[in-house]
A and B are shown apart, each in its own frame.
Chain A
Amino acid sequence: MTEEIVNEMPKGEEIVAEIDKFDELPDAPPKRRIKLTWLGKLSVVIVVFWVVIAFIGPWIAPFHEMDIEGDDSFLDAYDNFYLGTDHLGRDTFSRILWGARMTIGISLAATLLAYCMGITLGIAAAVKGGWFDMIVSRLNDAVLALPSIMLGLIAIAAFGSSIPILITIAAIIYASSVFRIARALGQDIMVQDFVEAAKARGEGIWWIIRAEVLPNAAMPLATDFGLRLVFVVLFISSLSFLGLGVQPPQADWGSMVRENLQGLSYKSYAAIWPAFAIASFTIAINLIVDDVSAKSGGSLAKKMV
């Protein structure tokens, strides 16, 4: 073995030239792109579909959400009542299209608000630390300790049920979990060398938050956003189901399930269709989150739930 190599070896000056051939070996992993599985792709289609419906629903719906146009209540599909009628004889199909705006709109608004509050306070608590962190964290623990539905019920009992109040309540309840995640992520990132390097450079607190902390927290926060949105949809739906959410005659998927529950005994699907809408939207989001988190370094998103 060795003799063979000796014979192959270049001699003298050739060796000097040869030496330069051995470059530093890169240890760079191949660049990771987010690639969705077919299930993930299907889920994206479903979510996009519902978001589009939320925007254009009222214009493409055959009837107004409040119009009682059907011949009778709890009818099966006929004519242009594609999904039959509900307990008052309104068109179920039209009400689902109208309700998309309400359900998705409210949840999206509440989740966004929850994120604004949660991230701002969470990152601020991580960066500032000390007494500020102490006060905000303990307050947050208090909110977390209360059961969310009970908290919602009490708040609605006190302030009445209107859409802005619904959004605010949902936002406050879910901001507490976002705060927890943002603070934990922030604390992890704050002790990294690159943050210390920025501090040693003399950077201000805003630069550190904006340029060093947030970009590194963005991916896990984004995966969590999808999950949080699902929770809010379910929360709003359960409030509506109890009759405390969106008030009739406005359509929203949760309240539609409640209103039409009695129809099940008349072999009516009026309660099934909105339940299916909720399920398809939330499951689709969950599948996307699963896909994304599997690609972006594993079980982070799962750990956070």
Chain B
Amino acid sequence: MDKLLEVKDLRISAYNDDAVEIPIVKGVNFDIYKGQVVALIGESGSGKTTISLASLAYTKPGLEIVGGEILLKGEDVLKASPLRQRELRGASVAYLAQSAAATFNPAITIGEQVTESAVLHGVLTQEQATKRAEALYHALELPNPDRIGYRYPHQVSGGQLQRLMAAMALCGKPDLMVLDEPTTALDVTTQIEVLKAFKKVIREEDAAAIYVTHDLAVVAQIADHIVVLYGGEVMEQGTADQIINHPTHAYTRRLMDAVRPTPEAGQGSDVGEEHFREIPAVTVNRMTAGYGRKPNGEPAVTVLRDINVNVKNGHVVGVIGESGCGKSTLARVMAGLLPPSKGELKLDGNGLNGDMSDRSLEELQKIQFVFQMADTALNPKQEIGEIIGRPLEFYHGLTGKEKHQKVVEILEMVELTPEFVSRYPMELSGGQKQRINLARSLAANPEVMLCDEVTSALDSIVGANVIKLLTALRDKTGVSFVFISHDLSTVSSFADEIVVLYAGRVVEQGPTDEVLTPPFHPYTRLLISSVPEMRLGWLEETMNKREMAVGISKGVEITAVGCPFFNRCPVAIAGTCDTKTAPARELNDGHQISCHLTIDQLEQSEAHAAAQVAKMQNEPTSPSAA
């Protein structure tokens, strides 16, 4: 095999205002061979993005490559002239940024952008490039591959855009692709679709790639060689099989621990009875809500239809579904930020006004909303003490020393030291910011905390710590949580009850263990199968499952009639599912599935699917074994 890229003793440093050198990358070595995918894995701040960018001889502003060499086919790119470096970028080494939505120019057609770099570098003529792009669209299994090049970025879905970015990178036949967390921001179902396409196209094109991520489960599916980074140093490196199946370094093991477990029954924590009360903390009854307003008083766009949810005291209710299913809208309705158009809300059994401005101070205090992005949810100009102190002052009238004492107490609850009081959000790490975000809501002494995707923006280790913290808080204070996430495995390890939302309707709900044992609603099954497992060959196995064949690669569509999951459902009954609203079928223990199929029918289809999987696992031809 030919060595494509050699990174030798790479050192990169930053300089602060006083010109003091801060080493970011401290002597990293690794090689990439032709046709190989090398994963750089580590949490945020480990220098993985910095290293990957250095292979294009590029650093972010403020950073400087202070030593080492990067040989691309024997040529040191760091010593190349700026003109030569420009030739290499895009033509020899292509970079795929994390967010495709931010990479594409919304005013230019997709085809033009995909072919631009190849034509610019003179690798292909416009005609050849367009042809090659079309071939790539086919290879990436994009819908309407002959037409998609003429569309604009906003006309395709997020997952499709992510794949189109791969086409953009591959169009000029680069020797090396750099993929920077290309699936991190995606739903699990979309992630599979993108991973599958990447893997296929990399193999077909015999391209080499650097794959940057913090998610070991994803790495297990796509990488040949894994480099584990921490604080700018290589902790461990080896083949995917070595690292995944026989990790030796403590840090790798720690990364392993943070990998989300497969959602299975029996993980949801037992609820202590000490906080239990007969009356649910929050009740949502036959609620419909949406955005905009038509003259007849109905919302212009109805997002949620006929929702019934009970949040019991001291319980954690997990709300899951893909993006666009109305999870955040549900939380916003509970918080009073979006008044529902129909239905009623109750707090402690008493009626609760749908509009926040008509709620009493006590009602406001009892329901607290935790925003998804701690980066934007904390005022950058306020000290932590002020941020946490405000709810104390606002709801409980605490001032001066009393307030300060309570702030310190709350900081302790979220496992931070008192010295944080005088710091600004800017000076904190992502995980610490999320703790402050939680602490602010906690300071109100609420009955219910609505957590909107609080772990989605964090990497796996930090996210796992936040979940641990939430569990501890629930046990200690008896606060109820509504925990919204698109990630079923996070929810299943933490929630007592699960509500599965699809396109604005509850398709399944009940205690965690019940929801996670068959029979499932077909959508729940799709979500469960989409959670990546940390073993080689999982991706291929999953893609062969029946629910994947139909369910993946179609988006969420909100429909007014029938079951919204109709067009993605492997067991849909044409003529029934698309015309009539699915009946809610009661199972034991408050477990409910909304489906036209009877429970027996669902169980049968379940058994059928299980048999299929068992058959597949027995076949020795799976690619992981090869």
Contacts and interface: CB of A to CB of B under 8 A. Distances in A.
Q: Please determine whether chains A and B interact with each other in the same assembly.
A: yes
Interface in A29-54: 29-33, 35
B380 interface: yes
Interface stretch (A4-12, A100-108, A170-178): A4-12
Interface string B513-554: 000000000000000000000000000000000000000000
A9 B371 contact: no
Q: Which DSSP category, helix, strand, loop or mixed, fits chain B's interface?
A: mixed
B394 A201 contact: yes
Given A5-B248, A202-B394, A216 B426 contact: no
B417 interface: no
Contacts of B356: 199-200, 202
B364 A202 contact: yes
B369 A200 contact: yes
- Contact size class for B? 35 or more
Nearest to A18: B250
Given A24-B461, A24-B465, A25-B46, A202 B376 contact: no
B44 interface: yes
- Contact size class for A? 35 or more
Contacts of A192: 376
Nearest to A6: B248
Contact of A30 (B16, B230, B359): B16
B552 to A, nearest CB: 32
B471 interface: no
B246 to A, nearest CB: 9
A19 B254 contact: yes
B251 A22 contact: yes
B373 interface: yes
B250 A19 contact: yes
Contacts of A150: none
A31 to B, nearest CB: 7
Contacts of B379: 194, 211-212, 215-216
B249 A29 contact: no
Contacts of A30: 16-17, 22
A297 to B, nearest CB: 11
Contact of A24 (B235, B242, B376, B462): B462
Interface in A177-208: 192-194, 196-197, 199-203
A10 to B, nearest CB: 7
Contacts of A32: 17
A26 B364 contact: no
B317 to A, nearest CB: 19
Contact of B237 (A1, A9, A201, A202): A1
A193 B335 CA distance: 14
Given A2-B242, A212-B379, A28 B428 contact: yes
Interface string A204-239: 000000011001101000000000000000000000
A128 to B, nearest CB: 14
Given A30-B16, A202-B364, A9 B249 contact: yes
A194 B253 contact: no
A26 B249 contact: no
Nearest to B43: A25
Contacts of B430: 24, 27
A24 B429 contact: yes
A208 to B, nearest CB: 11
A286 B380 CA distance: 27
A197 B443 CA distance: 13
B376 A194 contact: yes
B8 to A, nearest CB: 13
Interface string B415-434: 00000000000111111100
B337 interface: yes
Interface in A83-100: none
A15 B247 CA distance: 12
A275 to B, nearest CB: 38
Nearest to A189: B379
B394 A203 contact: yes
A194 B394 contact: no
Nearest to B376: A193
B433 to A, nearest CB: 9
Contacts of B377: 193-194, 197
A199 B368 CA distance: 11
Interface string B366-382: 00110111001111111
A13 to B, nearest CB: 11
From A10, A21, A202, A215, residue with most partner B Cβ within 10 Å: A202
B282 to A, nearest CB: 15
A192 B381 CA distance: 13
Contacts of B372: 193
B382 A215 contact: yes
B562 interface: no
Nearest to B431: A24
B231 interface: yes
B253 A19 contact: yes
Contact of A28 (B17, B368, B381, B427): B427
Interface in B236-257: 236-238, 242, 248-251, 253-254
B391 interface: yes
Nearest to A9: B248
Contacts of A203: 394
Contact of B440 (A33, A197, A199, A218): A197
Nearest to B238: A2
B44 A5 contact: no
Nearest to B450: A200
B388 interface: no
A19 B44 CA distance: 17
Contacts of B583: none
B426 A29 contact: yes
Contact of B429 (A19, A21, A28, A194): A28
Interface string B461-501: 11001000000000000000000000000000000000000
Contacts of A18: 250
A200 B337 contact: yes
Given A2-B242, A9-B249, A201 B364 contact: yes
B82 interface: no
Contacts of B337: 196, 199-200
Contacts of A1: 29, 237-238
B106 interface: no
B236 A197 contact: no
B50 to A, nearest CB: 12
Contacts of A216: 379-381
A204 to B, nearest CB: 10
Contacts of A201: 364, 390-391, 394, 444
A244 B332 CA distance: 59
A246 B428 CA distance: 54
Contacts of B364: 200-202
A33 to B, nearest CB: 6
Nearest to B424: A31
Contacts of A33: 17
Contacts of B235: 5
B45 interface: yes
B361 interface: yes
Contacts of B378: 194
Nearest to B430: A27
A10 B429 CA distance: 29
Contacts of A28: 426-429
18 contacts: A1-B237, A2-B236, A5-B236, A15-B253, A19-B250, A21-B250, A22-B230, A24-B432, A26-B427, A31-B426, A192-B376, A194-B379, A197-B440, A200-B336, A200-B356, A200-B364, A200-B368, A201-B364
Given A27-B429, A32-B17, A200-B364, 9 more contacts: A5-B249, A19-B253, A25-B429, A26-B427, A29-B426, A30-B22, A193-B372, A196-B337, A218-B381
Interface of B: 16-17, 22, 29, 43-46, 230-231, 235-238, 242, 248-251, 253-254, 335-337, 356, 359, 361, 364, 368-369, 371-373, 376-382, 390-391, 394, 426-432, 440, 444, 461-462, 465
Counting from the closest, the 5 A-B pairs by CB-CB distance are A25-B45, A215-B381, A18-B250, A193-B377, A30-B16
